[in-house]
Amino acid sequence: MNTFHCTACQALVFFENTKCRHCGRTLAFSPARMAMVAVSPADDGSWTPVDERAPTDEVYRLCANYLDNGVCNWAIPLTHAEPLCQACGLTHTIPNQGEPASHEAWMKLETAKRRVVYSILSLELPLFNKLENPKDGLEFQFLSDSVTVNGDQSRVLTGHDNGVITINVAEADDVYREAQRQLQREPYRALLGHFRHEVGHYYWDRLIAGSDKLDEFRRVFGDERLDYQSALKLHYEQGAPANWDETFISAYASTHPWEDWAECWAHVMHMVDAIETAHALGLSVKPQRRDEPALSIPAQPSVARVEDFDSLVSEWSVLTYVLNNLTRGLGLADAYPFVLSTPVIEKLRFVCGAMT
């Protein structure tokens, strides 16, 4: 995503910050500005921006989840009738706050969700919750496994169903998620990755189902009318085909064309977010080959760039080399443990086309 500066003192700040570490001001993200803003409280409970460089008469409220629960950092216009911001308003069910560590889990879930909502807003994709649009809206349920009265385990499956995205709260627990990653032999498993993947299913319904893109989708990804439940069962019984990496971005993507799409959608969201950051900061890197000129990712106004797909892919290949070498230098696993084959690049191209 973009990089942000405190509007009061101009120091660099993160999207997740609630206070500027440099000047101590309260910070909030304004979706109207798509920027972090230093804000100052007024006696009537409203908040005004502190911004001498771009004075404004905007007045905000802070999201109720910011003030009351400490799980959000968004500002909303004073005129907005709802107490929750656009991101929090998408959550239908929060983790059961009676359970240990559930507040921390809720905060991690909302933090990941806000980053996805930022991408959706910057890509100008349709976004409404189920209260605004019960039929086509989007909502999230954060649910935990439970034990029934009979003593049976009731497992919550992370997934998407007709605009309702369910995330198993345990995925916010680093130990659980890492254990699952190793169990499933996945090179990468992240809370943010789950959100991006499931949102991909939602946007398949919005952008591809019943549209003139469906024939092209089937040419690139295969026929999604293949029985989904049988495909899933087959995947968990037999695993992915041995040569899955020649045509799929991940082993799981080989399950069914819908999963392939969702995996590719998540990857495009990873790419767009990281490339946007690289552009916002300005980055110049040595060439891929010694005999090529250096690749420069110039500092430029930050936008989610999906229209020029070829540039996106060539910048991504250099940027992931940088990312992986930096994380190796810190003694950590590769930040991006994937290789993009030619058929996968064509799938990513299709996803980018659908986003524009």
Binding segment for Zn ion (CB under 5 A), chosen from 77-85, 136-144, 185-193, 331-339, is 77-85
Binding segment for Zn ion (CB under 5 A), chosen from 57-65, 243-251, 283-291, 298-306, is 57-65
State the nearest-atom distance from the C-beta of 87 to Zn ion, in Å. 5
Q: Among residues 20 and 105, whose Cβ is nearest to Zn ion?
A: 20
Contact 234, 198 (CB under 8 A): no
Contact 142, 94 (CB under 8 A): yes
State the nearest-atom distance from the C-beta of 307 to Zn ion, in Å. 26
State the nearest-atom distance from the C-beta of 329 to Zn ion, in Å. 30
Out of 37, 75, 85, 355, the only residue in the binding site for Zn ion (CB under 5 A) is 85
Binding segment for Zn ion (CB under 5 A), chosen from 23-31, 44-52, 214-222, 322-330, is 23-31
Sequence-distant (6+) residues with CB within 8 A of 339 are 245
Work out whether strand 146-147 and strand 139-143 pair parallel, antiparallel, or are unpaired. Answer: unpaired
* CA distances in angstroms from 52 to 8, 19, 29, 38, 315, listed in the order given: 7, 18, 17, 11, 36
- 351 lies in the site for Zn ion, by CB under 5 A: no
Work out whether strand 139-143 and strand 91-93 pair parallel, antiparallel, or are unpaired. Answer: parallel
Q: Among residues 203 and 309, whose Cβ is nearest to Zn ion?
A: 203
Out of 12, 23, 59, 303, the only residue in the binding site for Zn ion (CB under 5 A) is 23
State the nearest-atom distance from the C-beta of 193 to Zn ion, in Å. 11
Contact 142, 202 (CB under 8 A): no
Out of 262, 319, 344, 352, the only residue in the binding site for Zn ion (CB under 5 A) is 262
CA 56 from chain centre, in angstroms, equals 30
SS3 4: strand
- 107 lies in the site for Zn ion, by CB under 5 A: no
Contact 325, 332 (CB under 8 A): no
Out of 1, 28, 36, 63, the only residue in the binding site for Zn ion (CB under 5 A) is 63
SS3 265: helix
Q: Among residues 261 and 350, whose Cβ is nearest to Zn ion?
A: 261
Place of tokens 């920027």: 35
Binding site for Zn ion (CB under 5 A): 6, 8-9, 11, 20, 22-23, 63, 65, 72, 74, 85, 88, 259, 262
